[in-house]
Structure 1
Amino acid sequence: MDTVRTLLETQPLFVLFLTVALGYVVGEISIKGVSLGSGAVLFVGLAIGGFAPKSAPPALLGTFGLLLFLYGIGIQYGDQFFKGLTSPDGLKANAAAALGVIVSGLVAVAFVPLFGVKLDESLGMFAGAGTSTASLQAAIAAVKSDGPAVGYSVAYPFGVAGPILFLYALSALLKPNIVRPPPPLIETAEIALRNPAFIGLNMAQLVARMPTGLAIAAVRREHRNRPAADDLVLRADDVLLATSTDPAVLHEATTLFGELQPGRMTSHREDLDYARVFASSRLVVGRMLRDIRFPEGVVCTIAHVRRGDADLMPNPDLILEYGDRVGLLLDRAQIKAVRAFFGDSIKGTAELSFISIGAGAALGLLAGAIPLSIPGIGKLALGLAAVLLVALVLGRVRRFGPFVWTMPLSANLVLRNLGLTIFLAQVGIASGPKFFATIGVTGVSFLLYGVTILLALVVVTAAVCLWIFRLPFDMTVGVLCGATGNPAILAFANRIAPTDRPDVGYAMIFPSMTIAKILFVQIAAALASG
């Protein structure tokens, strides 16, 4: 065993990748249909770190992994974050998480008079139960001692494992019927215009009056297909090629405009043909469809956009991203020019700008290092939470001048999953020795304190979300992930709730709750010293 321990302690990178491999093997073990996934990497890391205390890779490596994960989350969900933050559900989610954080903080502070726990250790347990390194840093600075690190090292593993176990139990208790919704697909209908109310209008006027979620890709008149130009004046018996991702909308459009005339358009391609191209050129990536200017002489209609596994309606405010597959209606003679205009490279599915990633991450790190002055409390810094905040803003902006901030979904998933795995492995290995050593000194009392703080956080947050605000289960688990903070919990949440809501909830809650935890620590320390 000594030989194995020596090997591990002299080869930190070997240990890192061994932890990743073993972690995913353990994570694939399914118990009643539920597995830990990448979250198991942390537990394997704790075991290896406890066995070989000097085997941990540099902490900077874990920080780098977490940065990649947070940046990827922010870039992908920036637009949804800001829309959700001001929505009724977003406000409820933040209120529920804030209540959970406050109650867990009060429980931690209550241990000081009730059980004689030192305030610095109590604040450290609060930071560890919420897996908030920024709160730990704030606590150490506020109390000017290393006591918070002791409480943090005990509570942190439970801050990761506890919510995973809680979510597992909650899912088993409630048995939510969550099915990943099928990706939206574009459907078409050829509708002969017979309604006098629309005859004589131009296409722009028709678009303003037609059902939401509907688009007109082309018009057939006098046996010729033509683009649906804004100034085209509609006549009786014009055939409209209507598209939508909702069959009910197509049915409504058919009733509204006239009657179906299938086969009148799609079987004739002598005037307008269909082509699909990859968006990989800077001329189109990061731009709204309304701002795209085709080469001179090219008449072209964007019929739909396919991103990942989903078809998107060609709304004027839709912003193209690298790797999007764009369906076009155009003259065959212009296909070559349009392909060159869009780039049409399959490499676009993995294309990303390292200049944008470097600039965006540097901007986030700079913002996280700036101390913010809070009256009556002092100065605090957001740390890596600022990287997520900046990435969310950049994900909303999408493009600024020559910088295209977005990246293809496939590249984003690879980047952030790699970062998450590296972070979990490094933190697990590094935390193993402190975890087992602290347990040996304090016994089980600190463990019980940490579990109690954690339970206050997750139980209050879940109860308020589910039974007071009546939020959906998949949104609730995302809120719990953001309130507890650790990405390993989010990885598990995506297993039991395979929709986008856990990721959106995490992104919507994590920045604000990180700030809330820091503020609570600062306020508690200031009140105690005063």
Structure 2
Amino acid sequence: MDTLRALLETQPLFTLFLTIGLGYVVGEFSIKGVSLGSGAVLFVGLVIGGFAPKSSPPALLGTLGLLLFLYGIGIQYGAQFFKGLTSADGLRANAAAALGVVGAGFVSLALVPMFGVKLDESLGMFAGSGTSTATLQAIIAATKSDGAAVGYSVAYPFGVAGPILLIYMLSALLKVKVEQPPEKLIETAEIALKNGAFIGLRFSELTARLPAGVAIAAVRREHHNLLPGDDLVLHTDDVLLATSMDPAMLKDAAALVGELQPGRMTSHREDLDYARVFASSRAVVGRSLRDIAFPEGVICSIAHVRRGDADILPSSDLILEFGDRVGLLANRAQMKAIRRFFGDSIKGTAELSFISIGAGAAVGLLIGMIPIPIPGVGKLTLGLAALLLVALYLGKIRRSPPFVWTMPLSANLVLRNFGLTIFLAQVGIASGPKFFATVGATGISFLLCGVAILLALVLITAFFCLWVFKLPFDATVGIISGATGNPAILAFANRVAPTDRPDVGYAMIFPSMTIVKILFAQIAVALVGG
């Protein structure tokens, strides 16, 4: 055992990656569908740190990991975050989650005089109940002690499993039945123009009178398929290739314009052919469809966009992202030039600009150093919370030449999850010795304190969502997931409520509640700690 301890303490990088590997093995174990996932890395780190007290890698390594995690979150969810700050439902959702977070924070502060818990340990339990590693880092920096990591590690299991159990209980108590929405796929229809009211109109006049959600991708006239311009004058028996996410809308369009005549267009590809390309070129990524300038002489129409597992009906303000699969209609002779223009590279969709990451992170870190005076509190710095805010803004604007701020989703997930894993491993190993000493001295009392903080967070949030703001249940479970923070909770919420609202709620809430948690902890240290 002494030989193993000496190996771990003299080879910190080996210890770090051993912790990560073993942590994910432990995280795979599931009890009735509940698993710790990446959170298990922290507990393995605690065990290794307790066994080999001098094995901790440098703290800067953990901070770097957290930086990558926060930057990736901001870039991905920037648009949803700012939308949540302006929409009525988004404001209500953020208000409900903020009340839950602040309520949980006050419960954690009440533990200090009531049970004699140290402030850093109590705030650490607040961070662990909300599974917020960013808050943990802010508390450690503000208190200049590792007691917060001990409280965090004690409360973290309840922060993961507790919300899952409470969401299940809410679903059973309210007897909620959320129907699985239909798969988002674009449907097509070929409609022959028969209605005299449309004959002789320009194409732009026709599209303005079609049902909302119906688009025309091409027109067939005199045995030739062509891409319509706004000034194209419509003739009798023109065949329109209509697209929509709703088959009922296509039937309404057919009844309005003429009659369905399938097979007239799709079986003839000598003039227009269909191709699907990957968006991986800087010429298109980060640009709205209206701003895309095709090469001279190239004429094509974007029929649909597939992002992840969902189809998106193209609109002029739709902004392309790395890895979008774009369905195009164009002449076969121009396909090679079109593919070259879009990039059409799977490899390209996994690449990212380290220039953009470096510039964005540097600006966020610089702003985080600026002291902000708060009356009655003193001067506070936002630290990594500023980096998250900058990343959210960059994720919203997507590009500002010459920088493309967005990242391919696959690269973003790998970067931020690896960063989070490094942070959890480093903090766990560093906190191991004190964790076992504290738990041995306090026994079950710390565990009960963590449960009390978590109950305040989840129940206050759920109460305001469901009974004060009257938000739908599927939106509520997404908001609870964002307020508590752990992706495992969101995964369970998606099983209970299989719509897109849990994901949207999580995206709107998680970044803002991360900032609220960090600011609450910093203010608490400044006021109570002083």
Q: TM-score, normalised by structure 1?
A: 0.88
Of 153, 160, 170, which aligns to 1:157?
A: 153
Whether 1:490 aligns to 2:487 is: yes
What is the alpha-carbon distance in structure 2 between the residues aligned to residue 23 and residue 119 of structure 1? 29
In structure 2, the residue matched to 1:168 is 164
> Is the 8 Å Cα contact of residues 304 and 327 (structure 2) preserved in structure 1?
yes
Q: What CA distance in whole angstroms lies between the structure 2 residues aligned with 1:413 and 1:230?
A: 41
After TM superposition, the structure 1 = structure 2 runs for residues 57-68 of structure 1, keeping only pairs within 5 Å, are 57-68=57-68
Displacement of 1:254 in angstroms is 1.8
Residue in structure 2 matched with residue 440 of structure 1 by the alignment: 440
What does residue 110 of structure 2 align with?
110
Whole-angstrom distance in 2 between the partners of 1:113 and 1:218: 72
- Aligned-partner residue type, residue 286 of structure 1: G
- Tell whether the 8 Å contact from 1:193 to 1:257 is kept in structure 2 after alignment: yes
In 1, the alpha carbon distance for the partners of 2:102 and 2:238 equals 63
Secondary structure, aligned partner of 2:376: coil
Q: 1:32 and 1:265, CA in 2 relative to 1: closer, same or farther beyond 3 A? A: same
Please say if residues 83 and 508 of structure 2, whose CA atoms lie closer than 8 Å, have aligned partners that are also in contact: no
Alpha-carbon distance, 1:182 to partner:
6.5
The aligned residue for residue 380 of structure 1 is: 380
Are residues 527 and 409 of structure 1, via their aligned partners in 2, closer, same or farther at CA, if it must alter by over 3 Å?
Answer: closer
Question: CA separation of 1:470/1:434 partners in 2, compared to 1, >3 Å: closer, same or farther?
Answer: farther
The Cα offsets for residues 405-429 of structure 1, whole Å up to 9 and x where unpaired, read as: 1122222222222222222222222
In the alignment, which residue of structure 2 is the partner of 1:318? 318
Matched, 1:96 2:96: yes
SS at match of 1:287: coil
8 Å CA contact retained: 1:45, 1:425: yes
Residue 424 of structure 1: aligned partner: 424
Q: Percent identity?
A: 74
Which residue does 1:357 correspond to in 2? 357
Alpha-carbon separation, structure 2, partners of 1:322 and 1:141: 36
Q: Structure 1 pair 7/137, CA: closer, same or farther in 2 (3 Å)?
A: closer
Q: Deviations over 1:142-191 (max 9, x none)?
A: 8xx66x753x2332113422121212322443367678767522221001
**Of 462-471 and 300-309, the range deviating more from structure 2:** 462-471
Q: Distance in 2 between matches of 1:314 and 1:433?
A: 56
| CA displacement, residues 238-281 of structure 1 (integer Å, 9 cap, x when unaligned) | 11101122222222222222211100101111211222222222
Give the direction of change, closer, same or farther, for the CA distance of 1:177–1:31 in structure 2 (3 Å limit): farther
Cα distance, 1:88 vs. partner? 3.1
- CA–CA distance in 2 between the matches of 1:314 and 1:5? 59
SS in 2 for 1:207: helix
Structure 1 residue aligned with 2:197: 197
Closer, same or farther: CA 277–516 of 1 in aligned 2, 3 Å: closer
Amino acid at match of 1:158: V
Q: Show the counterpart of 1:309.
A: 309
Q: CA deviation at 1:515?
A: 4.1
Is this contact kept in 2: 1:73–1:503, CA < 8 A? no
Q: 2:56 matched to which residue of 1? A: 56
Deviation at 1:78, TM superposition (A): 1.7
Task: Quote the offset at 1:200 in angstroms.
Answer: 2.5
Asked whether the equivalents of residues 323 and 349 of structure 1 are also in contact (C-alpha less than 8 Å), the reply is yes
**Alignment map for 1:17-166 (pairs within 5 Å):** 17-115=17-115, 122=122, 125-126=125-126, 129-130=129-130, 149-150=146-147, 152-166=148-162
Question: Could you tell me whether the CA contact under 8 Å between 2:217 and 2:241 is conserved in 1?
Answer: yes
Match of 2:234, SS state, is coil
CA contact (8 A) 2:90 2:508 kept: yes
The one-letter amino acid of 1:231's match is D
Higher mean alpha-carbon deviation, 242-251 vs 114-123, is at 114-123
Distance change (3 Å), C-alpha of 1:388 and 1:494: farther
Contact 2:158/2:450 (<8 A) preserved = no
Partner letter of residue 299 of structure 1?
A: I
Give TM-score scaled by structure 2 length: 0.88
CA distance, structure 2, for counterparts of residue 140 and residue 47 of structure 1: 20
For the 8 Å contact 1:74–1:507, the answer to whether it is kept is no
**What's the counterpart of residue 449 of structure 1?**
449
Judged with a 3 Å threshold, the aligned counterparts in structure 2 of structure 1 residues 390 and 171 are, in CA distance, closer, same or farther, namely same
CA distance in 2, matches of 1:527, 1:64: 28
Rounded Cα–Cα distance in structure 1 between residues aligned with 2:528 and 2:57: 37
| Matched ranges for 1:174-253 at <5 A | 174=171, 184-253=184-253
Shift of 1:482: 3.7
Measure, in 2, the Cα distance between the counterparts of 1:25 and 1:414.
18
Relative distance call for 1:38 and 1:123 in structure 2 (3 A) is: closer
Equivalent residue letter for 1:161 = P
Task: Indicate if the aligned counterparts of 1:490 and 1:503 stay in contact, CA closer than 8 A.
Answer: no
Q: How far has the Cα of 1:309 moved from its partner? A: 2.6
CA displacement 1:475-503 (0-9 Å, x = unmatched): 44443344345xxx224532552676555
User: What is the DSSP-based 3-state SS (H/G/I as helix, E as strand, rest coil) of the residue aligned with 2:33?
Assistant: coil
In structure 2, what residue type is equivalent to 1:490? P
Identify the range of structure 1 (221-230 vs 432-441) with the bigger mean alpha-carbon deviation: 432-441
Q: Is the 8 A contact 2:140 2:149 kept in 1?
A: no
Assess if the C-alpha contact under 8 Å between 2:101 and 2:483 holds in 1: yes
**How many Å separate the matches in 2 of 1:438 and 1:478?**
34
Correspondence list, 1:270-419, <5 A: 270-419=270-419
8 Å contact from structure 1 (residues 16, 425) kept in 2: yes
RMSD: 3.0
Given residue 159 of structure 2, which amino acid in structure 1 is its aligned partner? P
8 Å contact from structure 1 (residues 155, 447) kept in 2: no
The verdict on how the C-alpha distance between 1:342 and 1:98 changes in structure 2, with shifts beyond 3 A counting, is closer
Change (3 A) 1:329 1:373: same
Cα distance in 2 between the residues matched to 1:180 and 1:50: 47
SS in 1 for 2:317: coil
Offset at residue 468 of structure 1 (A) = 4.0
Q: Quick one: structure 1 residues 312 and 128, their matched pair in 2 at CA, closer, same or farther if it must change by over 3 Å?
A: closer
Letter in 2 for 1:301: S
Task: Check whether the contact 2:80–2:507 (CA below 8 A) recurs between aligned residues.
Answer: no
Tell me the CA shift for residue 431 of structure 1: 2.5
- Separation of aligned partners in 1, 2:500 and 2:133: 26
Aligned pair in 2 of structure 1 residues 501, 432: CA closer, same or farther (>3 Å)?
Answer: farther
Give me the whole-angstrom Cα distance separating, in 1, the residues matched to 2:29 and 2:432. 22
3-state SS of 1:296 partner? coil
**d(CA) in 2 for partners of 1:325 and 1:124?**
44
Corresponding letter in the other structure for 2:165: A
Render the CA deviation track for 1:90-125: whole Å, top value 9, x for unaligned: 222211222122222332333455445566765565
User: Across the two proteins, how many residue pairs are aligned to each other?
Assistant: 523
